[in-house]
């Protein structure tokens, strides 16, 4: 597989993570270095790790999960998006629990956006292609896209002001709807 092909795959895989990062930044959760680092690190790490996991497990798990990964991703993104919208209407103390840059929420988002990378790893295994080089590139590309998306999201937050968290939640819900609609067609 050529480096150019891997770059294109990496860009495609990074788009969902980038959209989540724009939403988190727009909602005001990525306005400090620690939060930015957590988002960039986790999304990059999961995008790096999932192809390796998919490659290692190979065809065995593909048969069992075939068709479920999209539904799982849609469910996770939908839940987090709905929680963000709900939190926008709650007192400040309650909305802090839905911070997408921390804890279980960050892990759920990282996992939901990297399930496609699991399938890429499986296809690499079935094609007899080594997973290490593609995984490293995919992880780096995702980290860069996420960093740039956070920068864009933080600028959007200034424009959106009060509706920022709702906008972030809507982005996640739209991603979930897109996955479900694609699955139904």
Instruction: Annotate 103-124 with three-state secondary structure.
Output: HHHHHHHHHHHHHHHHHHHHHH
**Higher local confidence (pLDDT), 182 or 21:** 21
pLDDT in tens, 101-113: 888 889 988 998 8
Confidence of residue 78 (pLDDT cuts 50, 70, 90): confident
CA dihedral sign, ordered 169, 173, 174, 176 = positive
Residue 184 is predicted with a pLDDT of 84
Task: Give the largest CA-CA distance in the chain.
Answer: 53
Q: What number is the average pLDDT over the span 83-100?
A: 62
**Higher local confidence (pLDDT), 104 or 145:** 145
CA dihedral sign, ordered 161, 93, 143, 111 = negative
pLDDT above 80 for 163? no
| Contact between 123 and 13 (Cβ < 8 Å) | no
In the chain, the number of structural domains is 1
Number of Cβ atoms within 10 Å of the Cβ of 35: 20
| Contact between 134 and 128 (Cβ < 8 Å) | no
pLDDT in tens, 34-70: 999 999 999 999 999 999 998 887 656 656 666 666 6
Q: What number is the average pLDDT over the span 6-34?
A: 88
| Domain with 179 in it | 3-184
Give the chain's mean pLDDT: 81
| Contact between 21 and 100 (Cβ < 8 Å) | no
């Amino acid at each position: 597989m050529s480096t150019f092909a891997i770059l294109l795959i990496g860009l495609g895989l990074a788009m969902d993570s980038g959209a989540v990062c724009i939403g988190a930044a727009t909602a005001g959760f990525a306005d400090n270095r620690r939060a930015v680092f957590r988002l960039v690190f986790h999304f990059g790490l999961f995008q790096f790790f999932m192809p390796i996991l998919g490659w290692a497990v190979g065809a065995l798990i593909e048969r069992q999960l075939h068709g479920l990964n999209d539904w799982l991703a849609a469910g996770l993104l939908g839940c987090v998006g709905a929680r963000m919208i709900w939190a926008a209407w709650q007192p400040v103390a309650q909305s802090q629990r839905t911070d997408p840059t921390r804890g279980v929420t960050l892990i759920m988002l990282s996992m939901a956006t990297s399930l496609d990378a699991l399938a890429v790893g499986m296809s690499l295994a079935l094609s007899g292609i080594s997973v290490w080089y593609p995984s490293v590139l995919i992880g780096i590309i995702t980290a860069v896209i996420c960093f740039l998306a956070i920068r864009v999201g933080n600028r959007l937050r200034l424009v959106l002001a009060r509706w920022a968290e709702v906008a972030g939640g809507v982005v996640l819900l739209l991603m979930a709807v897109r996955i479900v609609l694609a699955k139904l067609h």
